[in-house]
Chain A
Amino acid sequence: MPVYFLEIIVVSLGIIMLLVDAFVKLEDKRSIAWIGMLGLVVTFGLLFRVQWPESTESPFWNFYTTGDQMALYFKGIAILTTLVVLIMASDYSRIVVDQTAPPEKGAHPQSGLGEFFALPMFACAGLMLMASANHLVSIFVALETVTIAFYVMVAYLRRNVGSLEAGVKYLILGALSTGFLVYGFAWLYGMTGSMQLEEIKTALSGDNVNVIGSLFAFSLILVALAFKVGGAPFHFWIPDVYQGAPTPITAFLSVGSKAAGFIVLLRLIDPFLSSSELVGKIILAVTVIAVLTLIVGNLSALPQQNFKRLLAYSSVAHAGFLLMALACTPTASQAGEFLSPAKVIAFYLGAYLLMTLLAFLVMTTVRVQIPGEDLTSYKGLAKRSPFLAFAMIISMASLAGIPLTAGFFGKFFVFQLAVQQQQWFLLTVGLVGAGAGFYYYLKIAASMFLSEQDPKDDISAIPVGTLSRIAMIVLIALILIGGLNPALIIGLLS
């Protein structure tokens, strides 16, 4: 099966879901989500059965990478994320219905839910396309598909001012970064006369590179992509948007969008890194952003009391570690077999996906029961629902980078790269950041375990949906497996 069938399947699933929503009378529209989940599971299975084309003569392959395991890996990330997001969304549907149900009588009480489930499918397709895009045009359109889908999803709760505010903020800043991206693309195109990444690479690694112009183009592109992945100081949207968006969408943003941003960043930075005249400055720029991101993300998370904002800053912090890995790209002259930054980033993102989604799953489950997303809402959770507390603590341990969890290896590899490249300053900042991480991730553990719940409140166990429970168990298992043997995950890359 050709690889691009995957995107086609996912898009078709989305369309099918829309059609079912429109034309099939359903008691409970959550079954639409099940279609999507089932389809995504199948698609994920198919991921392992794809074939690369025999010949790449057709112009199609100008836009779509061939034989690229990394792309498949990121497609997998996109599919998994969407799957979990759908599970969360179906748990979360009560709140969606609350905020969007139509006022008129006779309408289906859950109208509006179908689109809420279908939009992630299109976003997923966009993310998958981004993973494979190797042409400025396909990068651009895929990126924008995702971005526009996210504008809608973030602002989806149209009766909720927070959601709309988040939508507006994301819209303005997203459009701004699109502007810079386009401007950067234009310059890149102007400097290299091409839009195909391979050709751009050839052009940039040639002799007569226009250094200033290329750097100008690069900085504009970097700005836009740093925005997507949440690198400081282009991260400002993240806390507000994460907080305002519906929780499943926050999870989606935090994992899917970041992963896609990184694959694009990796692809776009690669030609620049292969140019010996540019590479020094490029690394410098990435280093600076990485340092800022590490500091801002980790330190700002310390005083947070809102769990979603905390996770938002944590997402910034992890972007910092990922950028740190990128900043430690070995120069061409360095011999020896290293784990390439690309692989490290890929692994890190995989780990990040597992632990962040687990956290969001627990959070969604709790949020449905308890209004508010402050840390205080988690008081006494350990007594109330030990399983949820356990899942959360695994997730937090992994995010904090405690060994035997996947998150540890992520940081390990990053530090290893920094040591190899002797980026001592970056390493120090990374250490400070990781140290701060211990504090803010354990804050949630402290809230769950160390503080007693007000006995006046409801202290019965929080119900956990079957699907959510299965998803949590699978994620926990994967986090631990990834923490024991990261090669299993990195092996997917080759």
Chain B
Amino acid sequence: MLEIIVFLPLIAALAIGLGAPARFSALGASIITLILSLVVAVQFNPNVEGSYQFESSRTFMDMVGFPTLSLAFGIDGISLVLLLLATLVMVAAVLVSPQENEIKGSSKLYYLSLLLIGGGAIGAFTSTDLFFLYAFHELALIPTFLMIGIFGHGENRVRTAWTITIYLGVGSLILLVGLIMAVFALGSATFAIADLIATAKNPETGIAASQQTWIFAFLLVGFGILVSLFPFHSWAAPAYAEAPAPVAMLHAGVLKKFGLYGLIRIAMPIVPEGMAALLNVLLVLLLGNIIYIGLVTIAQKKLDRMLGYSSVMHMGYVFLGLAAFNQLGVSGAVLLMFAHGVSIALLFALCGWIRKNYGTVSFEELGGIASQLPKLGLLFAFAAFASAGLPGFANFAAEVSVFFGAFQDTGESLGWLQWTTIIALWGVVISAVYMLRAFRNLFLGTPEKKMATPADMTMTARLPYFLLLATLIAVGFVPEILNQFIRPAVEGLFLVTAG
């Protein structure tokens, strides 16, 4: 089942390369993967703690002197949630693709790359083998480069494409070294994540504390670059601003979560002491994400850049959940990954729509769109509220969990983590400030004189937006939809952490 989900987009990409109709294949493949992943979610048994389901494993390489490599898939609650995120956003990204102007003529390359990015993310989230976890993620590197370079917006798109590619490339190299260090410090016989964790938990084979610190440092920087952890964030905003909307959706919404997923899945169980040792560093960095980037976001004059920075900023909260290092915080972080993924995808899609129809997303050149296009205005309002973390949307439920996680079991006095959280809470105000400013400047007030007057969204065009929005609201009202999966998985994570 999972194998089909993982390989369907890749096969579709191959088919497109060999001449299959591009949009049709992409749409078909992404919708089928979404349906299949929903089926998986329905069949998934949330009551099993800390083990994978839907497992399949093919030993791929068994070589003397090298850990066994298996093409192994399987999901627990955490990966299931991210799988759903990936398939959902991928469908939406394919659906909103026609609103991009630039793809005419090279739709083959476009959809092929899109499927590779999406398929890579799905593969990374469902692999239970460390090697393939890493490898699938890298699948997106060159497609992203091409997508931004060819189909991007703006003068600097080539430069931006360079920046993101080199930056992420270097990040994944650092990550690779960290992973190698971890695997070989454990002396594991396989790359299976479960085995690695089991080895790490065994006090006889676990990694020495001093070594853990180093390994975690590498992992943090490596994963951190992929997640745009401050101060390694500067690739993100311009890249998302200049990428075609679907790419920004997939990258900011899905692919970026890989780094966090990796920290949860690998770094936390394998080098917990390293994480504890570097916790204060992490706290400072995540404050950088939340407060510093938050303020930078306020200063933006264009919607696309603002969204880019805002997606960087919100990563800070996920890191906060990780830094809490307990069940509540981590499950909040996972939920936040999902919620942020969907909401930022929605926002980028809307941004793409505005850019296409008005030719600009500058706050100064636009205004009062809601008077012209009330439906669009309503959609954007929902998306903006979701992103600003208002109740009723998934983001809020997740942020609440994160905040409470950070305060869990503190006794009656406050530590660094708690003070950090209190400062980080100000970020909620900051994000409300920039989101409402954007909404105010773009949608409210009277329309600028020079603005075009496009027709409002049609029903079909709204479909992907509704899809994303409905998800946000459903999860926001009943977070248990996803929490039921996340909870046992995270519990399992901490069971092994403790044992």
Chain A residues with CB under 8 Å of chain B are: 336-340, 343, 382-383, 390, 393, 397, 400, 402-404, 408, 412, 415-416, 419-420, 427, 431, 434-435, 438-439, 442, 445-446, 449-450, 484-487, 490-491, 494
The answer to whether A435 and B135 touch (CB under 8 A), given A339-B65, A393-B142, A487-B63, is no
Query: Count of chain B residues with Cβ under 8 Å from any Cβ of A?
Result: 37
Neighbouring B residues of A336 by C-beta, 8 Å: 187
How many angstroms between the C-alpha atoms of A342 and B187 in the bound complex? 21
Contact with B162, one of A338, A412, A439, A491 (Cβ below 8 angstroms)? A439
B392 to chain A, nearest CB (A): 41
Is the pair B60, A484 in contact by a Cβ cutoff of 8 Å? Answer: yes
Is the pair B165, A435 in contact by a Cβ cutoff of 8 Å? Answer: no
A347 to chain B, nearest CB (A): 10
Contact with B17, one of A390, A416, A450 (Cβ below 8 angstroms)? A390
Interface of B is mostly: helix
List 11 extra interface pairs beyond A435-B166, A438-B165, A442-B145, CB under 8 A.
Answer: A338-B65, A390-B17, A402-B141, A402-B142, A404-B135, A412-B176, A416-B184, A419-B184, A431-B173, A445-B146, A449-B150
Neighbouring B residues of A490 by C-beta, 8 Å: 63
Neighbouring A residues of B169 by C-beta, 8 Å: 400, 402, 435, 438
How many angstroms between the C-alpha atoms of A412 and B179 in the bound complex? 11
B258 to chain A, nearest CB (A): 13
The 6 closest A-B pairs by CB, nearest first: A403-B135, A438-B169, A435-B170, A487-B61, A450-B149, A403-B138
Is the pair A431, B177 in contact by a Cβ cutoff of 8 Å? Answer: yes
How many angstroms between the C-alpha atoms of A402 and B138 in the bound complex? 7
Is the pair B150, A450 in contact by a Cβ cutoff of 8 Å? Answer: yes
The answer to whether A416 and B180 touch (CB under 8 A), given A393-B142, A487-B63, is yes
B32 to chain A, nearest CB (A): 23
How many angstroms between the C-alpha atoms of A404 and B63 in the bound complex? 17
Contact with A419, one of B64, B141, B174, B181 (Cβ below 8 angstroms)? B181
Neighbouring B residues of A402 by C-beta, 8 Å: 138, 141-142, 169
Neighbouring A residues of B161 by C-beta, 8 Å: 446, 450
Number of A-B contacts (CB under 8 A): 93
* Docked complex: B104-154 residues within 8 A CB-CB of A: 106, 109, 134-136, 138-139, 141-142, 145-146, 149-150
Q: Which of B161, B174, B176 has the most CB of A within 10 A?
A: B176
How many angstroms between the C-alpha atoms of A393 and B60 in the bound complex? 25
B155 to chain A, nearest CB (A): 13
How many angstroms between the C-alpha atoms of A408 and B132 in the bound complex? 12
B140 to chain A, nearest CB (A): 10
Kindly state whether residue B195 has any CB partner on chain A within 8 Å.
no
A135 to chain B, nearest CB (A): 29
Kindly state whether residue B85 has any CB partner on chain A within 8 Å.
no
Kindly state whether residue B66 has any CB partner on chain A within 8 Å.
yes
Neighbouring B residues of A439 by C-beta, 8 Å: 162, 166
Is the pair B142, A445 in contact by a Cβ cutoff of 8 Å? Answer: yes
Residue on B with the closest CB to A448? B146
Kindly state whether residue B480 has any CB partner on chain A within 8 Å.
no
Kindly state whether residue B95 has any CB partner on chain A within 8 Å.
no
Neighbouring A residues of B456 by C-beta, 8 Å: none
Chain B, residues 268-301, CB within 8 Å of chain A (1/0): the string is 0000000000000000000000000000000000
B274 to chain A, nearest CB (A): 16
Neighbouring A residues of B166 by C-beta, 8 Å: 435, 438-439, 442
Residue on A with the closest CB to B138? A403
Is the pair B146, A449 in contact by a Cβ cutoff of 8 Å? Answer: yes
How many angstroms between the C-alpha atoms of A486 and B181 in the bound complex? 20
Chain B, residues 174-191, CB within 8 Å of chain A (1/0): the string is 101100110010010000
